[in-house]
Structure 1
Amino acid sequence: MSQDKVGTIAGFDLTVQNADGVRDFYADVVGWKPEPLSMGDYDDYMMLAQDGNPVAGICHAKSSNADLPPQWITYIAVSDLSASLARVTEKGGEVVRQPNGTGPGGFALIKDPAGAIVALMQNPHTS
């Protein structure tokens, strides 16, 4: 995962009903090491490469993530999420999930004019 500079990939997440099973699948198939990330009453997982660097997240489809599609979602860091979302519709795209919050780390799902889904994330290193 990048250092979350504007315009770079800030991360990848997969949100599914059976996060534990999918976590084990990727651990066995590609060698990622799961690191639990407490969500209160359950854990999601930061998946680490062999060198210990985080490469992706595997999350339960619960709470505020319940409506996320079961596909890998790429997060792109933007400097101003609201302004970027306004440009999405101006440029022929669609906001398919409104922001989950404001400030650093807030994100929204968009569909580009070709129909591809991606997340725009308020740059975690700005305020």
Structure 2
Amino acid sequence: MRLVQVAQRAEDLGRAAAFYADLLGSEPVATFDPPGLVFFDVGGVRLLLDNGAPSALVYVGVSDLEATLTRLRERGVEVVGEPHVIFTHEDATLGPAGTDEWMAFIKDSEGNTVGLVEQRVRT
């Protein structure tokens, strides 16, 4: 079994598609409007922006949390949770052993909360 798709609420598909294209660094793979659906491929899992979907909490892995937040702040994105260590990986059960999992939280163009996650080697 594997995760296939996550749906996220998008009241304005164009605005949401532009936000996620910028955040993910890739363009949508498919758009169907009507009925109002935009799809992104995120590492083999579909992110569906759908004006009929409920809000979901989506977490996106980033390689440099501070640089990502700087870029997003410059674009006017609201940061609702500053970077902090959320978990220390002693073993590889939930992430690479010997790393700290850093997270920050932003609001997307539709008001949904998005988690940004970086795995950092513990110093």
- Please identify which structure carries the higher strand content: 2
TM-score, scaled to structure 2: 0.39
TM-score, scaled to structure 1: 0.38
